[in-house]
Structure 1
Amino acid sequence: MITVANRIFVEPDFAEQFEHNFRHRAGNVDGMPGFISFLLLRPTREHDPYVVLTFWESREHFEAWTRSEAFVRGHARSGSLPRAAFRAPNQLEVHEIIQHSGSPIGAGSAAAGDQHASSAAASQASGGTSQADLPPRHAC
Structure 2
Amino acid sequence: MITVANRIYVKPEYQDQFAERFRERAGLVDGMPGFVANHVLRPTREGEPFVVLTFWESRETFEAWTQSDAFRQGHARSGSLPREAFSGPNVLEMHEVVTSSPTR
Task: Assess same fold via TM > 0.5.
Answer: yes
> 1:1-140 counterparts in 2 under 5 A?
1-78=1-78, 80-103=80-103, 106=104
Instruction: Confirm or deny: 8 A CA contact 2:25 2:74 kept in the other structure.
Output: yes
**Alpha-carbon offset, residue 41 of structure 1:** 0.3
Structure 2 residue runs of 5 or longer lacking an equivalent are none
Identity %: 65
- Displacement of 1:94 after TM fit? 0.3
Higher relative contact order (CA 8 A, sep 6+): 2
Are residues 12 and 48 of structure 1, via their aligned partners in 2, closer, same or farther at CA, if it must alter by over 3 Å? Answer: same
Q: 2: distance between equivalents of 1:78 and 1:71?
A: 11
Give structure 1 regions of 4+ aligned residues with deviation exceeding 4 angstroms.
none
RMSD: 1.0
Structure 1 residues 90 and 79, CA, compared in 2 at 3 Å: closer, same or farther? farther
More helix by share: 1
Task: Tell me how far apart the structure 2 counterparts of residues 44 and 65 of structure 1 sit (CA, whole Å).
Answer: 30
Q: Which runs of 5+ in 1 are unaligned?
A: 107-140
How many aligned positions are there? 104
- The alignment's TM-score, normalised by the length of structure 1, stands at 0.72
Q: Which has the higher strand share?
A: 2
